[in-house]
Structure 1
Amino acid sequence: MDMQQDARQPKTEEELFAFLDGLGIKHTTKNHQPVFTVAESVALRDEIPGGHTKNLFLKDKKDNYFLLTVEENATVDLKTIHGVIGAASRVSFGKPEKLMEYLGVIPGSVTAFGAINDTGLNVKVIIDADLMAYDIINAHPLRNDATTSIGSKDLLRFIEATGHEPLVLKVTA
């Protein structure tokens, strides 16, 4: 088998959980119907406490990529966010091909946990400061028919363990 090809296989949910376990990070996961939007996921609120995330995969004109993880109801101003996150220009949404290549997920499954697949460190991971006010943060475990709950500080530890430096910035209105 070609090792280069193997290196690009996205990690599975099981590999993600094993990675978290290896870091001694407590996590729980609840399976549910696939959800593609924040609106669809609202029905799960009573069952899963904590801060729920909305994730934006963005790029600037110099092909710098950013993953913004914010609280689900937060508003992000795409016209001005580039100044906050250090982008070279205004940002737009990254293409699904790059999302799969870098984070190993499809649209609708974007998650901070995707950092585990960005072994080339192509994506800058940014967590909104308001989201960090929650003790528990909920995100998709690389697929959108489950929600994984993790401590907010543990989420930062996870991101650091993938080689990324998580930037906690105030990115929401």
Structure 2
Amino acid sequence: MGYSKEQLLALLKDLQIEFSKYEHPAVLTVEAQHSASALCQAKYVGNKGGGLSKNLFLKDKKQRFYMVSALADTKVDLKVLSQRLGLGKGGLRMAPEEALGEILKVPLGCVTPFALVNQSARDVSLLLDQGFKAQQHCFFHPLSNDMSISLNAHGLDKFLKSIEIDPAYVDLEANPTVGKDLPPDLATLVPSGSIVLADQPEKQPSPQVPIDKNHVSADSKPTMVSAKGAKPSISEKNSKGKPVNNAPLQTSFADVGQFVEEILHRTSDLLLSEIKEETIKQHGEQLATVVSDSLRKGLSSDLKSLAVMFKNTAYTEGFHAGAHHQPKRL
């Protein structure tokens, strides 16, 4: 059992960290966070001079986990970030949903740096957007998505140091050259060991992606608080035991051509991995059926995630268009 919202808020008070809290309806899904009300939410928070955050929970091929916490407008390219960590272009991908509950001890929609308070998450590497330091305060969910709290970078640092995490602020939009004489600039932030998850029962893949954008409702009522004193269980192989494409999913797809190319690339990689000489000898005339079934199982989760990302991009583009082209009142 992980920390509760109440326990976290009590800890912040004990640490004499000042914060404001805003109660609001729970944000249940990624899609809901990009609803029509998002424009009003952003306008309300913008008047407070704070920054919204988005939080990515990631893993690499060696079962090492990462959390990237950034301003909502910061562009995070997972391929570039993978290279900067020394993992290669395809080194990072979204962590599976079951890892949220087992490692971070939070449900979908509640990923924030505060989840690292749980002992099971202490080996997760945290990368913070350096843009947080320029904000008067930033908004995060306190382990529960029916409330948001705002605090400044100093308060966040104080919390992280209290749980023995040294804050690492990074320019997440930088793209430095990595080569023989130019080592990865973020290699020191790679966790030293892997995390082994418990075996999970087989279930239908979920289209949800653990990407959280924390917004505050325009109906929220702020309250100022001043303190007083073994083997990886998540397989990276398909049902036949053959490797599948583990390239990371991008956080958005603004280009339709790029979206289609990604689908074709993943399908091609999986198809080539299935058609081997021993497979042809073993299945003979049934090869087409076997390969078809394998493609369905291997691509179902990826294609659903890609579709959700494409949908979310459409919501986001519409949101930004509305935010920058609001008619002026006479």
Q: TM-score, normalised by structure 2?
A: 0.47
Q: Paired residues, what number?
A: 164
Indicate the structure with greater strand content.
1
Distance 1:147 1:80, change over 3 A: same
The residue aligned with 1:83 is 83
1:170 match: 171
Q: Mapping of 1:18-167 within 5 angstroms?
A: 18-35=10-27, 36-37=29-30, 38-40=33-35, 41-48=38-45, 49=48, 50-84=50-84, 86=85, 88-89=87-88, 90-119=91-120, 121-167=122-168
Give the superposition deviation at 1:39: 2.4
CA distance in 2, matches of 1:106, 1:157: 25
Instruction: Determine the structure 1 residue equivalent to 2:5.
Output: 13
Compared with structure 1, are the counterparts of its residues 93 and 118 closer, same or farther at alpha carbon in structure 2 (3 Å cutoff)?
farther
Give percent identity, aligned residues only.
28
What is the identity, as a one-letter code, of the residue corresponding to 1:19? L
CA contact (8 A) 2:57 2:66 kept: yes
Q: Which runs of 5+ in 2 are unaligned?
A: 175-330
Spell out, residue by residue over 1:43-83, the C-alpha distance to the aligned partner (whole angstroms, 9 max, x if none). Answer: 32344330110000011111111111000122110111123
Query: What CA deviation, in whole Å up to 9, does each residue of 1:17-62 have, x standing for no partner?
Result: 1111111101111111222445245532344330110000011111
C-alpha deviation, 1:119, in angstroms? 4.6
Q: Who wins on radius of gyration, i.e. which is larger?
A: 2
**Structure 1 residue 11: deviation in Å?**
0.4
TM, length-normalised to structure 1: 0.86
Q: Which amino acid aligns with 2:9?
A: F
More helix by share: 2
Unaligned runs of 5+ in 1: 1-8
C-alpha contact 1:124 1:164 (8 A) present in aligned 2: no
Give the Cα separation in 1 of the matches to 2:119 and 2:55. 16
Cα distance in 1 for partners of 2:173, 2:100 equals 22
Change (3 A) 1:172 1:99: farther
